[in-house]
């Protein structure tokens, strides 16, 4: 196994522990912010609305445990409610990897209410790398030790307590960044 894969697996194992074991780990649209990208050698901004993540998730991830215990059905936020937003900001770590900052508005991380009644203004986030869900996020910061060489799509979605993907006017409430990793890094 490559060292990057081993580092990723170690990171995913720690995510699983932090993520409550195997429970899972410009436009001014309220759904997805369009901001000036942070310019580094390995980071490129990519805004994307992905409507294809509904239904069953992939059955495993680099940690080897399954995330297909439930569907992530859409939960539409009505126009008469405050619209949650999410903004993913990637910071290159000074030592190794990347620090992900998940800024939210009209939404509160509520790990104490996971698997409880769903509300459109509280819950958690799901972290996807290259289309594969790797963790459940209960706070606004997360560290990635390593990624594969080349282009990596890093995406966060906002999810209700019952794991439903939050949507507004048919658009998933999510944000995506592209991280370019040079060969050999």
Tens digit of each residue's pLDDT (9 = 90 or more) over 134-179 = 999 999 999 999 999 999 999 999 999 999 999 999 999 999 999 9
Tens digit of each residue's pLDDT (9 = 90 or more) over 75-126 = 999 999 999 999 999 999 999 999 999 999 999 999 999 999 999 999 999 9
Q: How many CA atoms lie within 13 A of 76 on its CB side?
A: 5
Tens digit of each residue's pLDDT (9 = 90 or more) over 14-63 = 333 333 333 333 333 333 333 323 323 334 443 333 333 333 333 333 33
What pTM, to 2 d.p., does this model score? 0.65
As a residue count, the chain comes to 185
Tens digit of each residue's pLDDT (9 = 90 or more) over 73-86 = 899 999 999 999 99
Q: How many CA atoms lie within 13 A of 38 on its CB side?
A: 17
């Amino acid at each position: 196994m490559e060292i990057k894969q081993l580092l990723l697996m170690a990171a995913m194992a720690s995510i699983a522990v932090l993520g409550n074991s195997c429970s899972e780990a410009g436009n001014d649209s309220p759904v997805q912010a369009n901001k000036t990208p942070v310019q580094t050698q390995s980071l490129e901004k990519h805004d994307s609305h992905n409507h294809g993540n509904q239904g069953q998730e992939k059955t495993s991830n680099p940690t080897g445990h399954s995330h297909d215990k439930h569907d992530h059905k859409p939960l539409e936020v009505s126009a008469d409610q405050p619209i949650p937003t999410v903004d993913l900001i990637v910071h290159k770590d000074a030592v190794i990897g990347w620090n992900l900052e998940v800024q939210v508005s009209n939404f509160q991380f509520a790990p104490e209410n996971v698997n409880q009644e769903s509300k459109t203004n509280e819950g958690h986030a799901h972290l996807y790398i290259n289309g594969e869900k790797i963790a459940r996020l209960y706070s606004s910061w997360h560290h990635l030790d390593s990624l594969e060489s080349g282009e990596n799509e890093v995406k966060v979605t906002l999810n209700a307590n019952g794991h439903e993907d939050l949507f507004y006017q048919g658009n998933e409430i999510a944000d995506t960044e592209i991280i370019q990793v040079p060969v050999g890094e």
